[in-house]
Structure 1
Amino acid sequence: MLILLMACVAQFMLILDDTIVNVALPTVGEELGFSESSLSWVVNAYFLTFGGFLLIGGRIADRVGPRRMFTIALAAFAGASALCGLAWEPEVLVGARAIQGLAAAMLSPAALSILLATYREEPGRGRALSVWASLIGLGAATGLLAGGVIVELLDWRWVFLVNLPIALLALVLVPRIVPADDQRDARTSPNVIGATLGTLALLLLVFTVVETEHAGWTSTRTLLGFAGALLLAVAFVASERRSASPLLPPALLRRRRAMVANAAVFLGAGGLLAMFFFQTLFMQRVLGWSALSTGLAFLPFSATMGVMSAIAGRFLMRIDPRLPIGVGLLAAGGGLWLMSTLTPASSYAGHLMPSLMLTAGGLGIGFVVLMDLATGGAEDRDGGLASALLTTGQQVGGAIGIAAMVTIATTRTESALADRIAPPQALTDGFTAAFQVQAGVMAAAAVLAVALLGPAARRSRAATTQALAGEATT
């Protein structure tokens, strides 16, 4: 239980940093002298390095051992958080946020690898993953609440400094409760060229996506960025095929269920994080709520996702996973569609809260099962990499989802303003368009998962592991 608590607290801290800084951005920009165009990099620098370095972080964790990697990365994250809190100019804060993201990319797969190695069998594994899955929504929603409280009652610097006592406590507990790493086989040299190409492809992809806020999706700069990321990805695949020690072992990629689950998590996370982004704007800019009130409004979301994740982990891991995944993601899509009917006159209790709870309940059910499929069957030596693939889907999906929805919402809002529609309604029209697309993406994730998982999804984890072992010996 202590290992589960420690791993989840560390992951919670990382997800918290996805959103906790959002409500502090206006104050940060004013105090440190950020320009309007550069302020977004306080958020984007974290997304960029977190999403870009996850795969190599997972492979490093597998080679040096998850406990050792967890300790080093956690110390680095704490140091970067301290530097963020002490930042005296914009460049220092953005650089420290990039270091935070890099440390997070090393820490997250190590934490999940420790959890998976500790809980190998059902029902303990399902319950542990249910807690882990609930952290996605809980951490993001709590970040908004914590950011609002800190900005209003303390100082924006505590948005980052709050990480220090959490990290220090975890560092004290690690050697006492986490078993030592087993001996790792380091005789085969890693595919350094492949790791470099894969990391550069992810970095360029995430960088290009987050910059569409300024450059646009059809600009020459954006198209060249996507073309460059594609070329790097092709080069990465070619390098992996020639390597004796690939970054992504073929046996891992042949796990069809895991690849489908990762794709569904990619789509689902994009809708989830974009929802937080636009709901925050709707509550503050349209309804006129304070940062603290906005954060409190997400508490039912956190509670519902936590409860439904626990139910999924306890009761739904024994049945055909297509049922909870399909029902859960479709319910989440229904909640997002309900959000698209919001108006400036909508009430919280009658409209906003039910849509949040329906979305949270669906994600709580679907994400636990998806995470089990994404990580189940991976051997201990590949646990960090399987975890990294899953978290890469979350982070990159979130970054792409937010960027794509911003473009859709902005286009609709500008069109409404040109038609002389009042600003609150024009903003709402933009958010409505974004929520509708998010609902469609969530429905597509449900269809993708149910259609591609197929009857093979009924196989047990033990059978899958046995099949993988057979493949490895042929």
Structure 2
Amino acid sequence: MTSSQTRPPDAVPVTRAPTVVRDLNWTPAVWLLLVAVCGALFLDGLDTSIIGVALPSIGHSLHLGASSLQWIVSGYVLGFAGLLLLGGRTADLVNRRNVFLAAVTVYGVASIVSAGLSDQFAIIALRFVKGVAAAFTVPAGLSILTTTFAEGRPRNRAFGIYTLCSASGYSLGLVIGGLLTEVGWRATLLLPGPVALVFVAIGWKVIPRAGAARVRLAQFDLGGALTATGSLLVLVYAVVEAPARGWASVPTIGLLAVSAASMAAFTVIELRHDHPLVRLGILRSPTLVHANLAGFALSGGFVAFQFTATLYVQDALGWSPIGTALAFLPAGVVVILVAPRLGPVIERLGTKAGILAGLVCCAAGYALFLRTTPSMPYAEFLLPTMLLFGIGFSLAFASLNVQATAGVADHEQGLASGLLNTSLQAGAVVVLAVTSAVLNAPATPARGQLLPGMKNAVDVIVGVLAGASLLTAAYLSSRRGRATPADNAIVSPEH
């Protein structure tokens, strides 16, 4: 409704959020804006965990093996990782309100449609579409917050709520996924849809409108986005199919070569494009590169572990979906309780030491899982892993976010943050693909091992985290005595 139109006397005025919120006395419109933006992020966190618990049930219903099931997770993450930087660029160039609302709408519709499908390829395709939608939703939502809330306490408070919604989305997704899977696995695909459309309706009312920007197609690095996504997609496909085709077979080597060629093409495009997705010069920052490598390992390790452990406890031990969800819940609870209070700890330790401590905790937790036998009670074989992961993830993730953006010019803060998020998603895709390949490889169960290849898969996960820990230790040692902006960064407790 425009200002030139009149409202009937009994009409309820449309709630509008102010252009910039400069204090902590928030109106209902501000809180509704947070509900819409943070709610969309909550769904992004929920999506991975809610589907993870349902994977064994989906596998039984559709007769899918581990290699097919991993694509249901990877399809979403591939779309997210491959187009996140393009999503950020689009949010900057185009009306961020329209980008956000359109992306959340696509996400919701894709969720509803996928719930009625039985063809694995169609389900995976729509999971990819949802990941693409999330790649546009997250940077657009973040941009809405940064332009709505003034720097200082209002923005810190809003970001604290934003971060908490991400962590709680993942944690509650485990329980919600377990409950819904008891009803039927299709419910896990359906639930995010109607909820997303509710957030769209709220956002339509309260997200501030902005004038349409004049943009040219040349400002969008579509070639870079397609080559980066294609490289990752082909790499994952090559790794997943390698056990059946052979690691040294012509098809596997050919696919790996195509992936490498696509990444080389991406590099050339970024060097020549007037508006590249990634200014490659930013990668000269060792702190940024280290943060991205550590984030790759941190995210990849947990997504792969959850995949492996879920198949083990449900398929091998016969646990129910809700039992599985509750078994993983302590990790999310620890993250929610610990993460908001880590500011003083990281300020004292420095970001590199925080990353190292977090990676070591995660590696130790996964290594403890290698002791498992079918007769072990939960408190001995899985609970210690969940608690160590919760502590380790909180330490490492908070430190990564500070280190990745410290010392970066203001106009490239969004790029640095986008690179870190891309690395987190890419790690989930690649490490999960390798783990799935190990699980899918022909193997004879070891004595007392009910899921063939499980311990080999966990060995891979421990190796990834151990390697990242050693890299961080070496980097910390090489930089000792040389303070960097990341080491001296102050972390707000609300982050």
TM-score by length of 2: 0.79
Say if 2:388 is the partner of 1:362.
no
The answer for the alignment partner of 1:427 in structure 2 is: 450
Secondary structure at 1:20 match in 2? helix
Aligned to 1:157: 186
The root-mean-square deviation of aligned C-alpha atoms, in Å, is 3.6
The structure-2 alpha-carbon separation of the partners of 1:42 and 1:331, relative to structure 1 and needing over 3 Å to count, comes to closer
Matched residues in 2 for 1:170 and 1:56: separation?
23
Aligned to 1:392: 422
Mark the CA change 1:95 to 1:287 in structure 2 (over 3 Å): closer, same or farther: closer
Please list, as runs of the form range in 1=range in 2, the aligned pairs for 1:44-63 lying within 5 A after superposition: 44-63=74-93
Q: Does 1:295 align with 2:342?
A: no
Q: Any gaps of 5 or more consecutive residues in structure 1?
A: 465-474
Does the 8 A contact of 1:45 with 1:98 survive in 2?
yes
Alignment match of 1:172 (pick from 201, 208, 219) = 201
Contact 2:355–2:399 (CA<8 Å) still a contact in 1?
A: yes
Deviations 1:69-108 (A, max 9, x none): 2221111101111111233654543332232122122223
Aligned to 1:459: 485
Give distance in 1, aligned partners of 2:160 and 2:468: 20
User: Helix, strand or coil for the counterpart of 2:449?
Assistant: helix
Selected match of 1:310 from 331, 340, 344:
340
Amino acid at match of 1:448: L
Contact in 2 for aligned 1:335/1:359 (Cα 8 Å): yes
Given candidates 7, 15, 18, the residue that maps to 2:48 is: 18
Checking the alignment, whether the CA contact within 8 Å between 2:238 and 2:255 is kept in structure 1 is yes
1:221 corresponds to 2:251: yes
Q: Residue 275 of structure 1: CA displacement?
A: 1.4
Deviation of 1:272 (Å): 0.8
- Give deviations 1:14-69, integer Å, cap 9, x for gaps: 232224234434554666x5665756544443233233322322322232254332
Question: Structure 1 residues 374, 126: CA separation in 2 closer, same or farther (over 3 Å shift)?
Answer: farther
Aligned equivalents of 1:186, 1:462: Cα separation in 2: 39
Supply the AA of the counterpart residue of 1:374.
Answer: A
Match of 1:333 in 2: 363
Alpha-carbon distance, 1:392 to partner: 1.9
2:227 pairs with 1:201: no
Give the structure with higher Rg (CA). 2
Q: 1:443 aligned to 2:469? A: no
Q: State the distance in 2 between where 1:208 and 1:296 align.
A: 34
Q: Is the 8 A contact 2:167 2:332 kept in 1?
A: yes
Deviates more, 1:243-252 or 1:444-453: 444-453
1:317-328 matches, cutoff 5 A: 317=347, 320-328=350-358
* Contact 2:374/2:449, CA 8 A, preserved across alignment: no
Amino acid at match of 1:431: M
Answer whether contact 1:61 1:384 (CA < 8 A) is retained.
no
Given that 1:57 and 1:106 are in contact with CA atoms closer than 8 Å, whether structure 2 keeps it comes out as yes
**Does the residue aligned with 1:316 lie in a helix, a strand or coil?**
helix
1:328 deviates by 1.7
Q: 1:253 aligns with which of 283, 290, 303?
A: 283
1:81-160 equivalences under 5 Å are 81-87=111-117, 89-115=119-145, 139-153=169-183, 155-160=184-189
**Cα distance in 2 for residues equivalent to 1:432 and 1:43:** 21
**Cα pair distance change 1:457/1:224, threshold 3 Å:** farther
Aligned partners of 1:339 and 1:352 also within 8 Å:
yes
For 1:268, give the aligned amino acid.
L
Structure 1 residues 190 and 98: alpha-carbon distance in aligned structure 2, compared to 1, 3 A threshold: closer
**Distance in 1 of aligned mates of 2:349 and 2:415:** 26
**Bigger shift: residues 202-211 or 396-405:** 202-211
Alpha-carbon separation, structure 2, partners of 1:246 and 1:4: 31
Does the 8 Å contact 1:81/1:100 carry over to 2? yes
Judged with a 3 Å threshold, the aligned counterparts in structure 2 of structure 1 residues 199 and 297 are, in CA distance, closer, same or farther, namely closer
Change (3 A) 1:218 1:43: farther
**1:126·1:317 contact (CA, 8 Å) conserved in 2?**
no
